[in-house]
Copies of this chain bind each other. A is one copy, B any other.
């Protein structure tokens, strides 16, 4: 969730507690509005109406459109997993297809890209995106590499700093390619594309066709 609450298990403060149901309804209404209206035409007043809460309630919990949409979209990426398919190539293909399926949702398309756009001028927002979305998924790269190393498909890493750099690079290459394919080229990241992508990623451009 990562709302800006004062967290730290404040454990039963006095007064009326915030409605957890309202939180869920607001986030769901936000995703719904993203699908129907897109980012630019989404208004907080409309979201409040859809969620059945007052506009003021919404402003009491989120600072603005950006923060709200980050939370609404972040949940979509939490279901990503890396099932063990027996080989590095198969593992990559599997997780990339999952990622592509999520990115194919209209609420993910417009929501994620919009907050990334806004983050170019808002460092706090960028940090929030990194915490609640990006860094959480980087685990997939580390896990996949660990498995592949155990299988003997990749040489063991010696320099930990070098290893971290490579992990970041892989993440940028995988996520970047899928996003560009889906949003800019506007063509589906289907099985055939993923197969070709994985081949180039593993064997390079000179590899067998």
Contacting pair B169 A193 (CB below 8 A):
yes
Most chain B C-beta atoms within 10 Å of own C-beta, residue among A109, A154, A179: A179
- CB of B183 within 8 A of CB of A120, answer yes
A63 at the interface (CB under 8 A from B): no
Contact partner of A117 (CB less than 8 A), chosen from B110, B181, B201, is B110
Nearest B-chain residue to A192, judged by Cβ: B165
Interface residues on A, range: 35 or more
Cβ A116 vs Cβ B184 within 8 A: yes
Is A175 located at the chain interface by the 8 A CB criterion?
yes
Is A15's CB within 8 Å of the partner chain B?
Answer: no
Residues of B contacting A8 in the complex (Cβ-Cβ under 8 angstroms): none
Q: How many copies does the complex hold?
A: 2
Q: Report if A57 contacts B (CB, 8 A).
A: no
Contacts of A44 in B (CB 8 A): none
Of all chain B residues, which has the CB nearest A117? Answer: B113
What is the bound-complex CA distance between A20 and B172, given in angstroms? 41
Interface residues of A in 11-36 (CB under 8 A from B): none
Question: Does B205 contact A201, Cβ atoms closer than 8 Å?
Answer: yes
- Decide yes or no whether A207 CB sits under 8 A from chain B: yes
A186 at the B interface (CB under 8 A): yes
Please name all residues of chain B whose beta carbon is closer than 8 Å to the beta carbon of A178 when the two chains form the complex: 176
Q: Quick check: B120 and A38 within 8 Å, CB to CB?
A: yes
Nearest Cβ on chain B to A68's Cβ, whole angstroms: 14
Measured between beta carbons, the chain B residues less than 8 angstroms from A134 are 184-185
CB pairs A–B below 8 angstroms (19 shown): A38-B121, A106-B120, A106-B121, A113-B117, A114-B117, A119-B183, A120-B183, A134-B184, A154-B205, A165-B196, A169-B197, A170-B205, A172-B177, A173-B176, A176-B177, A176-B178, A177-B177, A201-B205, A203-B204
Extra pairs beyond A110-B120, A175-B176, A203-B206 (10, CB < 8 Å): A38-B118, A38-B120, A40-B118, A109-B120, A116-B183, A116-B184, A165-B196, A169-B196, A176-B181, A204-B207
